[in-house]
């Protein structure tokens, strides 16, 4: 069994994630495709995740890729979380996510929908959003008009409120390719059809095999359990899925059996210093966590073992600090707390990264090295 070191794995991942100087790319859709989606629970963080991987990308250019050029689409991706996905990948995503094992309904029996009702709601959504951008209330009204009052019954517990019954299939509708997010209307989200981005949207064949291959390209070496955690499925199902693939190689990675794609040349190692925002795909998708967040990084940058809630300083592929930004007009105050002693070059690289963050968001960065006293999500 071939042995892959953490340094070798980091070099592969950094290159695939466009986190080295040689791999920076001013193409938001290609970046999203190579990362297999960019987390967009917080839109500003998604824009920054893409922007830092470009040589000169700005926030306006990333948003234009989403709403003007429509090479990106905002939908639900792995684990049902909101992502920016490359439009060209929609056939793969709709087929692969629809093929995941069905999980038991988390809703009480009186709130659930029958298979017939689910089909009715999906058809109603598809019809309602073809050429429209609807708020949740407008979409609820349109669905009820096409199905019946039962679809709008407020029976779903949600954030100290109750949501209409149909919303339990919101993720399913996005997985099936009949729904995605439209541009916000003020502070309200809207829904529309992904066919406005890709008119001839059809699920791709062999989508799961393609998803495994591309996951390993971006995050490998990895175990079936890593893939299961990332996509939102059971480890046993992922083990069976990996066993059916014919172009994978089992390797010894960091003392553990793992998988990677065969015949992938090793990239040249290149020093890399990056400031990753909240929910960056690299920090969330790469494993093992103990290696990626060494020493004090586990206490400072993880929340109950979960990655993504704290922006991180990444040095040569490993978390080496945390950071925070605060905007006041055009001034972007950036505080970076290194958890290791930085070399002169690394400090200079952090300064350059802070300037890059300021340029992306259209401000002027003012960098301070010191303690980050702000907690997760601040």
Q: What is the mean pLDDT of each run of 10 residues along the chain (378 residues)?
A: 93 96 96 98 96 96 98 96 97 96 88 95 98 97 97 87 93 96 95 96 92 97 97 96 95 94 81 96 96 96 93 98 96 97 97 97 96 78
Q: How far is CA 350 from CA 7, 154, 252, 263, in A?
A: 21, 50, 33, 34
Expressed as residue numbers, the domain containing 279 is 273-369
Instruction: Write down the pLDDT at residue 97.
Output: 96
pTM: 0.95
Q: How many domains does the chain have?
A: 1
How, if at all, do strands 82-86 and 72-76 pair? antiparallel
Whether residue 345 is contained in a domain is answered as yes
Residue 356 lies in a domain: yes
* pLDDT score for 104: 86
Residue 259 covered by a domain = no
147 domain residue, yes or no: no
Q: β-strand 161-164 against 154-158: which pairing, if any?
A: antiparallel
Domain assignment present for 348: yes
At residue 54, the pLDDT reads 97
Edge-to-edge strands of the sheet including 273-276? 273-276, 312-315, 318-328, 331-338, 364-369
Is residue 311, in this structure, part of any structural domain at all? yes
CA angle, 332 as apex, 327 and 338 as ends, to 5°?
115
Q: Tell whether 322 is covered by a domain.
A: yes
Check the CA dihedral 248-78-50-91 and report its sign: positive
Would you give the end-to-end CA distance of the chain in angstroms? Answer: 44
The pLDDT, as a whole number, for residue 56 is 95
> Within a domain: residue 278?
yes
């Amino acid at each position: 069994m071939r042995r892959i070191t953490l340094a070798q794995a980091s070099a592969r991942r950094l290159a695939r994630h466009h986190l080295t100087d040689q791999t920076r790319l001013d193409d938001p859709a290609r970046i999203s495709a190579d990362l297999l989606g960019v987390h967009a629970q917080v839109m500003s963080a998604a824009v920054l995740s893409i922007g830092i991987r470009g040589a000169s990308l700005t926030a306006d250019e990333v948003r234009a890729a989403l709403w003007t050029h429509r090479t990106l689409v905002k939908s639900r991706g792995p684990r049902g979380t909101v992502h920016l996905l490359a439009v060209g990948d929609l056939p793969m995503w709709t087929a692969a996510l629809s093929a995941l094992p069905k999980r038991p309904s988390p809703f009480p029996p009186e709130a659930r929908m029958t298979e017939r009702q689910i089909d009715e709601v999906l058809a109603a959504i598809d019809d309602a959003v073809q050429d429209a951008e609807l708020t949740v209330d407008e979409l609820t009204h349109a669905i009820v008009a096409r199905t019946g009052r039962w679809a709008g019954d407020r029976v779903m517990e949600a954030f100290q409120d109750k949501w209409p019954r149909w919303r339990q299939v919101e993720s399913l509708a996005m997985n099936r390719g009949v729904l995605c997010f439209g541009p916000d209307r003020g502070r309200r989200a809207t829904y529309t059809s992904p066919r406005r981005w890709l008119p001839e949207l059809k699920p791709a064949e062999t989508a799961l095999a393609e998803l495994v291959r591309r996951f390993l390209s971006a995050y490998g070496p990895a175990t079936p359990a890593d893939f299961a955690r990332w996509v939102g499925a059971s480890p046993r199902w992922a083990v069976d899925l990996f066993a059916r693939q014919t172009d994978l190689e089992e390797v010894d990675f960091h003392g553990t059996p793992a998988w990677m794609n065969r015949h992938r040349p090793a990239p040249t190692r290149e020093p890399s210093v990056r400031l990753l925002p909240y929910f960056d795909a690299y920090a969330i998708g790469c494993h093992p966590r103990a290696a990626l967040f060494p020493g004090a990084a586990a206490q400072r940058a993880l929340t109950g073992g979960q990655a993504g809630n704290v922006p991180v300083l990444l040095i040569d592929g490993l978390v080496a600090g945390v950071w925070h930004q605060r905007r006041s007009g055009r001034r972007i105050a950036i505080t970076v707390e290194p958890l290791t002693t930085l070399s002169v070059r690394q400090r200079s690289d952090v300064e350059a990264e802070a300037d890059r963050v300021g340029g992306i968001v259209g401000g002027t960065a003012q960098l301070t090295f010191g303690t980050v006293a702000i907690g997760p999500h601040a």
